[in-house]
Chains A and B, each alone.
Chain A
Amino acid sequence: KAGVTQTPRYLIKTRGQQVTLSCSPISGHRSVSWYQQTPGQGLQFLFEYFSETQRNKGNFPGRFSGRQFSNSRSEMNVSTLELGDSALYLCASSPVDSYEQYFGPGTRLTVT
């Protein structure tokens, strides 16, 4: 089975812009979670989607949003980018019958 894929892998944006990141889960997985990784804060949970519904949300401002499509692919959007949003954004998928999470390679976002 193909693993979790994330696009794009690298992105450079300017403060104030918005960005959309994409995640394709492992085939058959219906849960997709997003995490932000920074040197200062480490890995932090953003949100989880299951069957197109957001089930959980971490402690991030409303500028961070996401959605999931009927084929389980997910996107996350960050509006009005700030320098502090520079990070590695990781997506993880999980099957229905297990809580094990499988991570993608991440999208490296740099905000200048």
Chain B
Amino acid sequence: KQEVTQIPAALSVPEGENLVLNCSFTDSAIYNLQWFRQDPGKGLTSLLLIQSSQREQTSGRLNASLDKSSGRSTLYIAASQPGDSATYLCAVASGSARQLTFGSGTQLTVLP
């Protein structure tokens, strides 16, 4: 059974800092890995999707890496802004390509 862990559970940083969020998973037989953000009381916004054959994906100030063999992914956020404050969720597709197992999230607060 796939298990996804995210560390840290909460993170508070001053504006402008670069930061890294971590995600680990127990079963390396995955189809893909997605990073989402969730604002309070809202749905999920897709940030990046990494296919199992890829090592990283970039979108703007975000960069996500994937190391399947070690069961790890990182989300790098450059030059953080207060608008980046949200909960960031890592999700792995392993049973099937669209069946996601989620971590419990990292709650990020960027202080102005």
Closest chain-A Cβ to B24's Cβ sits at a distance in Å of 15
B interface residues, how many (CB within 8 angstroms): 25
Chain B contacts with A in 89-112, Cβ cutoff 8 A: 89, 91, 93, 95-105
Determine whether B44 belongs to the interface, using a CB cutoff of 8 Å to chain A.
yes
Determine whether B46 belongs to the interface, using a CB cutoff of 8 Å to chain A.
yes
From A35, A92, A99, A106, B49 is in contact (CB under 8 Å) with A99
- Is B45 a contact partner of A42 (Cβ separation < 8 A)? no
Determine whether A83 belongs to the interface, using a CB cutoff of 8 Å to chain B.
no
- Is B96 a contact partner of A101 (Cβ separation < 8 A)? no
Enumerate chain B residues within 8 angstroms of A94, measured Cβ to Cβ: 98
Q: Which residue of B lies closest to A45 (CB)?
A: B99
Q: Which residue of A lies closest to B48 (CB)?
A: A100
Closest chain-A Cβ to B7's Cβ sits at a distance in Å of 15
Enumerate chain B residues within 8 angstroms of A35, measured Cβ to Cβ: 100, 102
Q: Per-position contact with B for A26-66: 1 when CB-CB < 8 Å, else 0?
A: 00000101010000001111001000000110100000000
- Is A99 a contact partner of B46 (Cβ separation < 8 A)? no
Interface size class of A (residues with CB under 8 A): 20 to 34
Enumerate chain B residues within 8 angstroms of A105, measured Cβ to Cβ: 42-43
From B49, B51, B98, B103, A33 is in contact (CB under 8 Å) with B98
- Is B34 a contact partner of A100 (Cβ separation < 8 A)? yes
- Is B98 a contact partner of A31 (Cβ separation < 8 A)? yes
Closest chain-B Cβ to A97's Cβ sits at a distance in Å of 12
- Is B49 a contact partner of A56 (Cβ separation < 8 A)? no
- Is A102 a contact partner of B46 (Cβ separation < 8 A)? yes
- Is A33 a contact partner of B34 (Cβ separation < 8 A)? no
Q: Per-position contact with B for A69-112: 1 when CB-CB < 8 Å, else 0?
A: 00000000000000000000010101000111111111000000
Enumerate chain A residues within 8 angstroms of B45, measured Cβ to Cβ: 103
Q: Which residue of B lies closest to A43 (CB)?
A: B102
Q: Which residue of A lies closest to B91 (CB)?
A: A43
Chain A residues engaging chain B, CB cutoff 8 angstroms:
4, 31, 33, 35, 42-45, 48, 55-56, 58, 90, 92, 94, 98-106
7 contacts between A and B (CB under 8 A): A31-B98, A43-B89, A55-B98, A90-B44, A92-B44, A105-B42, A105-B43
